[in-house]
Structure 1
């Protein structure tokens, strides 16, 4: 095993501070988690990447964990996340990095690579495919996805305080239901109402299904780590990412339809709506991700790919990294 134990530190970036955990030495690989998670989502990747000869660094995205949690909603715009990532690379004394993201972290990683190709020389995307900026205003598009009596979860998350009021009274129970609802081994049957829609006037957790067991990848102790972070921070910082979708669409107008040309990787799960709903985005990869090295859809895998299928994801990540980092 690696001689380098994981090391926690806080680094200053122009927008505040970012908490990170690093392990290993070598070319920098920056790992960016999604909603509602933590640096801890990469606990299975850090030692393996370190052992393979890389400096693996998992951050708490702003609004999460021990990173800064600004008050203003617009402090969570995509441009701020990109700036944080550039700041982290600089604070670590590196010129360039490979960036890998999951869920919202995938979008943050993609935009970091798109806006700062001088810093982010390769990009790995987990669960959420790259789709260039375009189309109608996002909240208008999401409003059309919902029916008369229910709304798309991103629309439900828009109003400040609504989702917080649902989640914060029982953070641990809510997280358990959310993680289980999107995991291949515990997700409700296909005829169960989708977790991705909320009945008007209802709550997302109404759709969780029976909370009888945790998914196999999530031990009680792991859930304690996640719950402890959100019990301390609250949910607003995490939810504010969703509250910037229109602002991002405006900010990113200069990159409308732009491809990402660096060496890239995609890994999704065939039971994950984040992957399957965006099948057209994956089909468009020859145009939108011309530097794609490899793309993988894992069978029988849900949303939490790097935790549900740690061994497989680690193998794919290391193979991909070695393709353009000659030891």
Structure 2
């Protein structure tokens, strides 16, 4: 681990469902960083020191079920509204009344809903990789079940308790390395190769991972850290997010079609399936994100955007943060 990544303060604070682990660096206005699947606070190791040097109090958390945060037993403990309240608890535990929130992957969806549900706390929101799409339409499980034809979409695969755990947990390190490579802009399968977002009937997700080199951003030490956390905790807490999408759809019924009006930022990768599949959501931003200040798609970038392109993400983040109303 680099000196920049270790020059941080680790803390455990009380949250609604137990302890929340956070890593803090710097002083100034609070910026809360929320990771996605399957990651940890460490996904922001390239952003924490840069934000601190730019005059911000940068805080990256382990989302509930990950890393050093608590891992409740009940699946419904990972519903969106619970994770929103975790973020609120972090802000208040740090003695602040408001924060800018930035998320990647599932963290982007958590950040978006935090801003939507608690605009009194989250004054601006940055989204990496996964665009904002307001709640609406059919029940999510019904939508995912229709995707893929003879194959099964990875979200449906993850939603069945125990199934993905049986694939991943016997070799967490190898699985993570393959999953990261499958969605990285430089190591993802080429055109015409089977899509790693889908599972053949009777197969596993891992069957379609590339077998070449690891992503350039993923060192042996990085992979050791990620794997060590999941080997200790298991995967069910992280997968709980996928298993609550129908509950979220029910819980957020009052926000059907609702825009996020705070100042916002979106950055995606041109090779990221999230950006490509949700192009209509990006096109709808004038309506759904009326406070959008910047929207960028990085050419040739995959899904792990702040790790693949740290310098570009740091520049975009700090420029956006410096332009926010005080």
Q: Decide: shared fold, TM above 0.5.
A: yes
Name the counterpart of 1:56: 58
> Aligned equivalents of 2:282 and 2:171: distance in 1?
36
1:302 corresponding residue in structure 2:
302
SS of corresponding position for 2:127: strand
Q: What does 1:77-156 correspond to in 2, within 5 Å?
A: 77-147=79-149, 149-156=150-157
* Structure 2 length-normalised TM: 0.97
SS in 1 for 2:63: coil
Partner of 1:37: 39
Match of 1:209?
210
Distance 1:184 1:158 in 2: 26
Residue of structure 2 equivalent to 1:67: 69
Corresponding residue of 1:274: 274
Return the TM-score normalized by structure 1.
0.97
* Dislocated runs of 4+, deviation >3 Å: none
Shift of 1:190: 1.5
Aligned pairs, number: 323
Q: Secondary structure at the match of 1:131?
A: coil
Partner of 1:295, secondary structure, is strand
Shift of 1:150: 1.0
Structure 2 Cα separation of the partners of residues 146 and 214 of structure 1: 27
- Does the aligned pair in 1 maintain the 2:181–2:210 contact within 8 Å? no
Q: Provide the rounded CA distance (Å) in 2 between the counterparts of 1:245 and 1:255.
A: 15
The answer to whether the 8 Å contact 2:10/2:22 transfers is: yes
Q: Deviations over 1:43-67 (max 9, x none)?
A: 0000000000000000000000000
Q: Does 1:5 align with 2:37?
A: no
Shift of 1:146: 2.2
**Structure 1 residue 15 displacement after superposition:** 2.0
Distance in 2 (CA, whole Å) between partners of 1:278 and 1:312 is 22
Name stretches of at least 5 consecutive residues in structure 1 with no aligned partner.
Answer: none
* 1:113-147 superposed Cα distances (whole Å, 9 cap, x missing partner): 00000000000000000000000000000011121
**Distance in 1 of aligned mates of 2:130 and 2:191:** 21
Structure 2 SS opposite 1:157: helix
In the other structure, the counterpart of 1:230 is: 230
1:325 deviation in Å? Answer: 5.2
How far does residue 220 in structure 1 lie from its aligned partner after superposition? Answer: 1.0
- Find the aligned partners of 2:191 and 2:165 in 1 and give their Cα distance: 28
Kept in 1: contact 2:187–2:210 (CA 8 A):
no
Report the equivalent of 1:250.
250
Which sections of structure 2, spanning at least 5 residues, go unmatched? none
Pairing of 1:162-201 with structure 2 (within 5 A): 162-201=163-202
1:145 match: secondary structure: coil
